[in-house]
């Protein structure tokens, strides 16, 4: 599959993983828009939030727990979580990812 983020998940493109488990990976954005800018992804290739299907609740619920635990481990007192959905929503890479931004 020709997906940049699937290649990072597969280790074909090296990236400094911040967190990894059976369901998700977390790595720094290559072009950070804040002091801390991480991307939280499901390992499953789902192009956008708009493509979620029955059964994906478990994955996305898990992703939200990771979005809670990673900043806690980094002692971040506050942060923003953002999903860009679709081309018109500013999405450039079509593999679901949650931006975690903290200054
Ligand atoms: P989107 O606009 O799809 O929500 O966000 C895509 C994000 O992926 C952008 O913030 C961009 O900087 C980041 N990005 C693009 N290419 C790479 C890459 O090769 N490695 C990493 N770590 N991030 C990337
Ligand atoms: Zn993918």
Q: Are the beta carbons of 4 and 41 closer than 8 angstroms?
A: no
Integer Cα distance of 68 and 92 in angstroms: 24
Q: In what order do the strands lie in the sheet with 36-42?
A: 19-20, 24-28, 36-42, 98-102, 80-82
Name the pTM for this structure. Answer: 0.97
Q: Is the pLDDT of residue 1 over 80?
A: no
Residue 47 Cα to ligand 2 midpoint, Å, equals 7
- For residue 15 and ligand 1, the question of a CB distance below 6 A is answered with yes
Q: What is the pLDDT of residue 58?
A: 98
- Residue closest to 43 by CA, chosen among 14, 15, 23: 23
Nearest atom of ligand 1 to the alpha carbon of 82? 4
Q: Is the pLDDT of residue 81 over 80?
A: yes
Tens digit of each residue's pLDDT (9 = 90 or more) over 31-50: 999 999 999 999 999 999 99
- For residue 92 and ligand 1, the question of a CB distance below 6 A is answered with yes
Q: Are the beta carbons of 67 and 93 closer than 8 angstroms?
A: no
Mean pLDDT of the chain: 97
């Amino acid at each position: 599959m020709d997906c940049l983020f699937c290649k990072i998940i597969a280790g074909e493109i090296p990236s400094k993983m911040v967190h990894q488990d059976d369901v998700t990976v977390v790595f720094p954005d290559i072009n950070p828009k804040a002091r801390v800018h991480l991307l939280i992804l499901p390992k499953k290739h789902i192009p956008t939030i708009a493509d979620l299907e029955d059964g994906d609740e478990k994955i996305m619920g898990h992703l939200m727990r990771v979005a809670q635990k990673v900043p806690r481990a980094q002692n971040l007192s506050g942060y923003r979580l953002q999903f860009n959905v679709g081309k018109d929503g500013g999405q450039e890479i079509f593999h679901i990812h949650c931006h975690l931004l903290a200054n």
